[in-house]
């Protein structure tokens, strides 16, 4: 085959890493991909008769043999492009049968390219059709899919994205958290908590002598203690107020008593119970108990950070202990059983823009596809026409959803179930047969590309933001030699061998589907809240935790590597952010310990600050240390074993430890 023809069939686009790194977020590159990947473009092209005539007799037999497996199983005409280190062979077509696309690889060394240099042609519509014909033709039609020989059209992303706030350089962690969780929510919690405490007393018919109304300062201090419990995790709440000096926390004891913390936890509420609608009544809301929280945080999360180009839609899980009807079994998640939440997150930072709580399938959601369709359209509302790139898992991805997103000006990519409506019949496992690692087949309909490939297993995916025929070969990380920064193709030389070729849709998904997982990792490192018997409490602490993670992401992107003023150390991690936020929420608040002491029957026998306790020291009485210091002579058998002194049971114990 002539060298000119070979360049037409197999195009290598070369770009330096320095030029690719300077491409802005809103530039021509539809996605951000690793520069360690070697890229190849293998465009689909029908053979010309004069070029095929010379090689037809000698190559027909071998070409049919290499494509035999695909032809036998799929029953379609194949246009096989075989890429080898020695050259390219374009096999003969079978005109009486239907075609699809197959590629095999053995790549050479001089093939580093970047997707950003591809030239894109403009089309009249995202499917290459006018709007009326697109709406009329069903995706399940046998003529819907065609050959992967069309150029896709991707509009550039030019929206100003990132944190949106007016905080100055002197802003601290509390200011960033206030962007997501404003003081109005604390005031609402104070009002409804006091109201619910009175509601419980009226319902029981007796007053609670250990309860007094809370206020804004105490509610913030209560929230700060819950945040610190996620950093300093103990198996039981009472252990934070333990008398053991190795377990008890002096800061917790100074802020409020264990009984006060327990009472706040019992009466914590976010809604008016007396006006709550009953199930079956008009206006019933399954999320009524946290509706006020959802209304506020949904707006603050969306307004504080404008979504960037690449977004992830995935499923999150909230750990819950109890028998709640919304609890789901999720075998694909690290947390197998819990409360399900669907999230829209930034692919790079993990910032959560929106979250939707699953409370049961609606009556109109007859199938999983219908439910996934409604979830995605709800999460992306407000992004229409801005040309974002969405990455979803197989639960959501379907042909009707991809069509809807394209009509709304949104591009998407993700694996799918091959048995769903609209997926090409020729790409289903029963028709494709056994694939070799790196081999893939594709069909196309305008911007919509269907791909089936074999990586660690057979994967079927749909994409509307990747051109057909593009493949990348990433380095095998396990083969990297220590202390060697250069990539090589020979593991024996101490370098890295390049692994199995992957089509572009699969690489896009692997590079940009980390958003929800990253958000879950940041959230699960320091969980907020304790297990309880009320399901809505788990969602309350879930949103508090999400607001903390989002505030940390905003601070990190707004300030870069510069920590807030007064923070020592080079690194300002999420742990430092949470500890500093809790300290600022607590401030100098100290609970009304006198009101707690008055309700106790045996004040002197109760533990006090720093783990000291009044106990019987010996059978023989000895002089009280506190009275001796004042020039008095009194004896007692009681005292403090930690201080190893005898003290009177009256006020000497408290006075001595002040």
**Is the separation of the CB atoms in 150 and 505 below 8 Å?**
no
Higher pLDDT, 545 or 563: 545
Q: What pLDDT does 370 receive?
A: 86
- Under the banding of pLDDT at 50, 70 and 90, the label for residue 339 is confident
- Under the banding of pLDDT at 50, 70 and 90, the label for residue 467 is confident
Is the per-residue pLDDT at 189 higher than 90? yes
| Residues contacting residue 621 through CB under 8 Å, at least 6 positions apart | 635, 636, 637, 646
Among 128-132, 206-210, 563-567, which is the least confidently predicted range?
128-132
Q: What pLDDT does 58 receive?
A: 45
The Cβ of residue 568 has, within 10 Å, a number of other Cβ atoms equal to 7
Q: What pLDDT does 326 receive?
A: 59
- Under the banding of pLDDT at 50, 70 and 90, the label for residue 327 is low
Question: Region 286-312: what's the mean pLDDT?
Answer: 94
Q: What pLDDT does 501 receive?
A: 82
Among 138-147, 253-262, 507-516, which is the least confidently predicted range?
138-147
- Under the banding of pLDDT at 50, 70 and 90, the label for residue 325 is low
Q: What pLDDT does 497 receive?
A: 56
Is the per-residue pLDDT at 183 higher than 90? yes
Residue among 445, 484, 428 nearest 149 (CA): 445
Higher pLDDT, 17 or 36: 36
* Strands annotated E in 92-211: 99-104, 162-163
Query: Using CA atoms, how far apart are residues 202 and 594, in angstroms rounded to an integer?
Result: 26
- Under the banding of pLDDT at 50, 70 and 90, the label for residue 590 is confident
Residue among 481, 479, 482 nearest 498 (CA): 479
**Is the separation of the CB atoms in 440 and 102 below 8 Å?**
yes
pLDDT above 70 covers a percentage of the chain that reads 68
- Under the banding of pLDDT at 50, 70 and 90, the label for residue 498 is low
Q: What pLDDT does 591 receive?
A: 80
Higher pLDDT, 387 or 369: 387
Is the per-residue pLDDT at 246 higher than 80? yes
Q: For residue 68, report the phi and psi dihedrals to the nearest 5 degrees.
A: -60, -40
- Under the banding of pLDDT at 50, 70 and 90, the label for residue 438 is confident
Question: Region 237-241: what's the mean pLDDT?
Answer: 94
- Under the banding of pLDDT at 50, 70 and 90, the label for residue 616 is confident
- Under the banding of pLDDT at 50, 70 and 90, the label for residue 432 is confident
Number of alpha carbons in the 13 Å side-chain half-sphere of residue 615: 13
Among 48-57, 380-389, 576-585, which is the least confidently predicted range?
48-57
Is the per-residue pLDDT at 337 higher than 80? no
- Under the banding of pLDDT at 50, 70 and 90, the label for residue 63 is very low
Is the per-residue pLDDT at 459 higher than 60? yes
Q: What is the mean pLDDT of the chain?
A: 75
Of how many residues is the chain composed? Answer: 658
Higher pLDDT, 257 or 657: 257
Q: What pLDDT does 42 receive?
A: 62
- Under the banding of pLDDT at 50, 70 and 90, the label for residue 104 is very low
Contacts 24+ apart (CB under 8 A), 435-440: 436/104, 437/500, 438/104, 438/105, 438/500, 438/501, 438/502, 439/102, 439/103, 439/104, 440/101, 440/102, 440/103, 440/471, 440/503
| Residues contacting residue 571 through CB under 8 Å, at least 6 positions apart | none
- Under the banding of pLDDT at 50, 70 and 90, the label for residue 331 is low
**CA-CA-CA-CA torsion sign (417, 421, 426, 429):** positive
Is the per-residue pLDDT at 385 higher than 90? yes
Q: What pLDDT does 328 receive?
A: 59
Question: Region 219-242: what's the mean pLDDT?
Answer: 95
- Tell me the pLDDT tens digit for each residue of 501-537: 889 899 899 889 999 999 999 999 999 988 888 888 9
Is the per-residue pLDDT at 4 higher than 90? no
Residue 409 structure tokens: 């000006």
**Domain range summary for the chain, segments of one domain joined by +:** 173-276+526-586, 601-656
Is the per-residue pLDDT at 640 higher than 50? yes
**Is the separation of the CB atoms in 537 and 530 below 8 Å?**
no
Query: Using CA atoms, how far apart are residues 158 and 160, in angstroms rounded to an integer?
Result: 7
Question: Region 488-497: what's the mean pLDDT?
Answer: 46
305 strand-pairing partners: 163
- Under the banding of pLDDT at 50, 70 and 90, the label for residue 439 is confident
Among 77-91, 163-177, 588-602, which is the least confidently predicted range?
77-91
Sheet holding 614-616, edge to edge: 614-616, 638-640, 645-646
Q: What pLDDT does 483 receive?
A: 40
Query: Using CA atoms, how far apart are residues 334 and 175, in angstroms rounded to an integer?
Result: 33
**Is the separation of the CB atoms in 539 and 290 below 8 Å?**
yes
Among 29-33, 55-59, 164-168, 360-364, which is the least confidently predicted range?
55-59
**Is the separation of the CB atoms in 83 and 40 below 8 Å?**
yes
Residue among 123, 180, 188, 175 nearest 154 (CA): 123
């Amino acid at each position: 085959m002539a060298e000119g023809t070979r360049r037409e069939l197999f195009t290598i686009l070369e770009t330096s890493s320095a030029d690719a790194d300077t491409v802005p977020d809103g530039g021509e590159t539809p996605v951000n991909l690793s520069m360690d990947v070697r890229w190849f473009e293998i465009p689909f092209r029908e053979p010309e008769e004069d070029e095929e005539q010379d090689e037809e007799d000698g190559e027909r037999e071998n070409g049919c043999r290499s494509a035999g497996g695909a032809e036998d199983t799929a029953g379609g005409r194949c246009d096989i492009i075989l890429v080898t280190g020695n050259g390219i062979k374009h096999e003969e077509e079978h005109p009486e049968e239907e075609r699809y696309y197959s590629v095999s690889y053995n790549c050479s060394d001089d093939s580093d390219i970047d997707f950003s240099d591809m030239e894109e042609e403009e089309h009249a519509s995202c499917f290459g059709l006018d709007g009326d014909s697109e709406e009329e033709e069903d995706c399940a039609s046998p003529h819907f899919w065609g050959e992967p020989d069309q150029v896709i059209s991707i509009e550039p992303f030019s929206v100003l994205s990132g944190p949106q706030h007016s905080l100055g350089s002197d802003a601290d962690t509390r200011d960033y958290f206030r962007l997501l969780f404003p003081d109005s929510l604390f005031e609402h919690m104070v009002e409804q908590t006091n109201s619910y405490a009175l509601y419980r007393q009226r319902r029981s018919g007796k007053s609670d002598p250990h309860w007094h109304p809370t206020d804004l300062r105490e509610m913030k201090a209560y929230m700060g203690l819950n945040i610190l419990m996620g950093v300093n995790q103990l198996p039981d709440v009472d252990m934070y107020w333990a008398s053991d000096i190795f377990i008890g926390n002096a800061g917790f004891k100074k802020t409020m008593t264990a009984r006060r913390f327990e009472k706040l936890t019992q009466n914590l509420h976010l809604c008016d119970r007396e006006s709550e609608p009953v199930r079956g009544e008009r206006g019933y809301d399954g999320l009524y108990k946290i509706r006020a929280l959802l209304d506020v945080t949904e707006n603050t999360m969306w307004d504080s950070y404008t979504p960037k180009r690449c977004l992830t839609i995935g499923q999150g899980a909230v750990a819950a202990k109890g028998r709640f009807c919304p609890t789901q079994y999720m075998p694909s998640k690290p947390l197998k059983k819990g409360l399900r939440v669907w999230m829209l997150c930034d692919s790079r930072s993990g910032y959560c823009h929106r979250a939707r709580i699953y409370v049961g399938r609606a009556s109109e959601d007859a199938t999983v596809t219908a439910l996934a369709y409604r979830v995605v359209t709800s999460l992306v509302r407000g992004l229409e026409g801005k040309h974002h790139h969405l990455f979803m898992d197989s639960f959501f991805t379907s042909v009707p959803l991809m069509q809807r997103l394209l009509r709304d000006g949104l591009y998407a990519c993700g694996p799918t179930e091959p048995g769903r409506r609209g997926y090409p019949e020729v790409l289903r496992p029963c028709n494709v047969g056994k694939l070799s690692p790196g081999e893939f087949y594709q069909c196309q309909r305008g911007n919509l590309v269907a791909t089936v490939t074999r990586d660690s297993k057979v994967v079927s995916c749909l994409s509307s933001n990747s051109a057909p025929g593009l493949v990348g070969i990433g380095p095998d990380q396990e083969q990297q030699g220590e202390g060697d920064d250069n990539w090589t193709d020979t593991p024996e030389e101490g370098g890295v061998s390049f692994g199995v070729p992957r089509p572009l849709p699969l690489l896009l998904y692997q590079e940009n589907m980390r958003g929800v997982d990253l958000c879950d990792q940041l959230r699960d490192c320091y969980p907020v809240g304790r297990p309880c018997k009320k399901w809505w409490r788990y969602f309350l602490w879930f949103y508090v935790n999400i607001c903390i993670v989002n505030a940390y992401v905003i601070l990190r992107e707004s300030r870069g590597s510069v920590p807030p003023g007064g923070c020592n150390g080079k690194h300002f991690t999420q742990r430092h952010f949470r500890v500093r936020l809790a300290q600022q929420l607590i401030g100098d608040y100290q609970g009304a310990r006198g009101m707690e002491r008055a309700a106790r029957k045996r004040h002197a026998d109760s533990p006090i600050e720093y783990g000291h306790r009044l106990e019987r020291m010996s059978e023989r009485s000895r002089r009280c240390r506190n009275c001796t210091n004042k020039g008095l002579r009194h004896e007692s058998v009681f005292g403090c074993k930690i201080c190893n002194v005898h003290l009177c049971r009256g006020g000497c114990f408290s006075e001595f430890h002040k």
